[in-house]
Chains A and B, each alone.
Chain A
């Protein structure tokens, strides 16, 4: 299957600072990428849908000015958590829609643990 990679896998930042998480599709071009957040013992919650070259579409209740998403190329999407607070601490996961023969399947990255202290 296709490979999606996230970086960093773990990050600790101070309250009030910003942190960027990268999501790359390694062996395919992803026109659409998705960002999820998962709190402990809960299921994944979709935050936003990101299309290459256009603005992201955010789910209801997700602040677009706090969670900045950029999808500048067909293999890279970034999520920036701005002015992070301890309640933003969570597991952030990206996924990408495959292209061509992979087009019907969504592949996930390994996830990024964010801890805000």
Chain B
């Protein structure tokens, strides 16, 4: 699976949009981009995933660049409960193992 690069930490004001970037320049054509988050002392929570098109669900939006070498997770209105470590993971369709990097620690500030 392709490697991802994320900033180690970010701050976001409560109520504002949080935009978390991820670089995956070696992604191959059949690999998906997955986002999970881990709130302190809990198991990771699935957020969203995509292949080529932008995706949106009740939690977030995922914007994937046309060349698929990078993506951005958008939390439209961040709350204090969104403070967590966010992991961007690239995974092939036939692969079920997730390799976790260090992720981005998002701190939502009142």
Chain A interface residues (CB < 8 Å from chain B): 1, 4, 6, 32, 34, 36, 43-46, 49, 91, 93, 95, 97, 104-111, 113
Contact = CB atoms under 8 A, between A and B. Distances in A.
A1 B46 contact: yes
A70 B11 CA distance: 42
Contacts of A34: 96-98
A26 B42 CA distance: 18
B46 A93 contact: no
A91 B100 contact: no
B101 interface: yes
A36 B44 CA distance: 11
B43 A6 contact: yes
B43 A104 contact: no
Given A43-B103, A97-B96, A106 B46 contact: yes
A4 B87 CA distance: 19
B45 interface: yes
Nearest to A4: B43
A107 B46 contact: yes
Determine the main DSSP class of B at the interface with A: loop
Contacts of B46: 1, 105-108
A43 B41 contact: no
Given A108-B44, A108-B45, A111-B41, A43 B100 contact: yes
A46 B96 CA distance: 12
Contacts of A45: 100
B43 A111 contact: yes
Most chain B CB neighbours (cut-off 10 Å) among A4, A46, A91, A104: A104
Contact of B44 (A1, A46, A93): A93
Interface string B91-105: 001001111111100
15 contacts: A32-B96, A43-B100, A43-B101, A43-B102, A44-B38, A44-B100, A91-B41, A95-B44, A95-B98, A104-B32, A104-B93, A106-B98, A108-B46, A111-B41, A111-B43
